[in-house]
Amino acid sequence: MSNSEIAITMVISTIFAIAVFLALPTFIVKFIPGVQDNHVVLNLIEGVIRLVLFLLYIWGIGLTKDIQRVFQYHGAEHKTIHTYELDLPLTVENVRKQSRLHPRCGTNFLLIVMVVSIFVFAFLGWPNLLERIVSRVLLMPVVAGIAYEVIRLAGRSEHSFVQALIKPGLALQYMTTREPEDDQIEVAIRALEEVRPPESDAYEEE
């Protein structure tokens, strides 16, 4: 794929994301009766609609065979990372035993972004549609930053409260990962071996 094709794909994907996850929820919510005078409630409902659309999107793409295979590679990646973090030799047998769920997964991040955005956007008032879309786009770096810190905390803390926060994201990974085949595990192992620090190769000398 050429650079221009990649650029066009990224532009189309960005427009699609803004249209579905920002414009559509803020358009739909105005048809909900009984809440039009409460801007905080309007924003909260808009956020819930956005979250539902996100979950439906993940579920929908997961029905296609190509994406199911992608999700198998996703599961292989998680299992391989678990094996590496446990300081075990990177073999198919060791990787196969690990969980396909991981607290620092991008799925967790996306779900946390959706939830954080509900509360951040709740106090923005209710201007016209264009201003609502622009305000949400401009605040996405703030939302993403908060979500990133939550993910970092989840990766290094065993506190029960922190673990409770990431449980919905872990549950969502049952949708975004599949049990991989051995050849997919081998690909994940090779990918990790290409990027891991040299000092982590010590066990191979044994």
Model confidence, pTM = 0.79
Cβ proximity of 83 and 90 under 8 Å: yes
Query: Which tokens is 94 given?
Result: 């060791």
Least confident of 100-104, 117-121, 156-160: 156-160
pLDDT digits (tens, 9 = 90+) for 51-96: 999 999 999 999 999 999 999 999 999 999 999 999 999 999 999 9
pLDDT digits (tens, 9 = 90+) for 111-148: 988 899 998 988 888 888 788 888 888 998 999 999 88
In angstroms, the CA 12 to CA 96 distance is: 37
The one-letter amino acid at 132: R
DSSP character at residue 21? I
Cβ proximity of 98 and 83 under 8 Å: yes
Most distant CA pair in the chain, distance: 70
Nearest to 110, CA basis, from 174, 60, 51: 51
Is the model more confident about 157 or about 168?
A: 168
